[in-house]
Amino acid sequence: MIIVMAPGQGSQTPGFLEPWLDVDGVREHLGALSDAAGVDLVEHGTRSDADTIRDTEIAQPLIVAASIVTGALLLEGRRNAVGGVAGHSVGEFAAACLAGIMSDIDAIRLVGVRGRAMANEASKVATGMSAVLGADLDVLQTRLSELGLTAANMNGGGQVVVAGELGALATLAEEPVPGTRVIPLQVAGAFHTAFMAGAVDVLREAASTVEPADPTLTIYTNRDGSRVSSGADYVNFLIEQVSSPVRWDLCMDAFVHDGVTGVIELAPAGALVGLAKRGLKGTPTVAVKSPDDLVAAIELLEAS
């Protein structure tokens, strides 16, 4: 059973779309997605610097578009070989597209709305996110409560991403829980926390124009790692997820329960494969960073 995964914010790097523009149809596909998102994806994916693509309203559509485009190339003629799809945070929109819940244009349009709304909320208070490695969650929660921070992403593999005001994150880095390491993330807000509550209403209104279909591939939700059979339910989870925690650890538990035999992470790949190597030890992985990696991913999918 091969799981195809779409990454979330923070996985982007300058120029990562450059090698894909030589693949037939990719430039045109990105152009259509750019129009829907209101973001020049080719420009930002090839020329913009790290600070520019860190901005939430650029990063989110850029990441999701990359997963949509590379996912379309991977799945063409091979949908029956896919055991399931899942996205991490904003990557859930790409997963929804791949599973047939919504079109690529609807997905990227909503991501554009989401990114702008979350950037607006993030501008109100100086907040951010940091990864904490090696923590016992119960012990960490005590420290987070002391600092007014929130466990926003339970990623499994010994990683918890925490979020809140920058001063509190700095204190956690300076005075970490013993035995842990704190790494600031390249995101510009406390996502998946109450700081993003205002963005939920904006996204809900935008999503009211979408008529979701039920998924044609197995799809897992960050809400609790469960399979979702209703497209309408999945879209509702997407909306609520903006201000609620990501339970990627439970997604990986579900993969194991369902008999995962390999995982493929779509562009811009790396983070989820890293988690899989720690949380799904021994499971073959492919991170699709370039067209050459796509060849390896196709081989893994067709061998399943």
89 is annotated as an active-site residue: yes
Q: Where are the chain's structural domains?
A: 2-123+193-303, 127-184
232 close to 191: Cβ distance less than 8 angstroms: no
pLDDT reported for residue 10: 82
The C-alpha atoms of residue 189 and residue 186 are separated, in whole angstroms, by 9
Residues 64-120 have pLDDT tens digits of 999 999 999 999 999 999 999 999 999 999 999 999 999 999 999 999 999 999 999
For residues 10-21, average pLDDT: 93
CATH for 127-184 (1.10.490.10, 3.30.750.24, 3.30.70.250, 3.40.1440.60): 3.30.70.250
pLDDT reported for residue 157: 80
Sole residue written with tokens 């061998």: 303
What residues form DSSP beta bridges with 163? 129, 150
Using a 10 angstrom Cβ sphere, with 0-12 exposed, 13-18 middle and 19 or more buried, the burial of residue 246 is: buried
268 token code pair: 């811009």
pLDDT at 219 over 80: yes
Q: Which of 62, 114, 86, 146 is nearest to 243 (CA)?
A: 114
Q: Catalytic pick from 11, 34, 89, 243?
A: 89
pLDDT reported for residue 138: 86
Percentage of the chain exceeding pLDDT 90:
93
Q: What is the amino acid identity at position 77?
A: G
pLDDT reported for residue 288: 98
Query: pTM for the complete prediction?
Result: 0.95
pLDDT at 188 over 90: no
Q: Catalytic pick from 29, 44, 88, 192?
A: 192
116 token code pair: 């702008």
Q: How many C-beta neighbours within 10 Å does residue 234 have?
A: 23
pLDDT at 136 over 90: no
- C-alpha separations of 255 from 108, 188, 227, 232 in Å: 26, 30, 10, 23
pLDDT at 186 over 80: no
Domain spanning 2-123+193-303 has what CATH number?
3.40.366.10
88 is annotated as an active-site residue: no
Q: Which residue has better confidence, 10 or 244? A: 244
Query: Residues 19, 21, 25, 27: is their CA dihedral positive or negative?
Result: positive
Range in 136-145, 171-180, 239-248 with the lowest mean pLDDT: 136-145
154 token code pair: 């339970």
pLDDT at 158 over 90: no
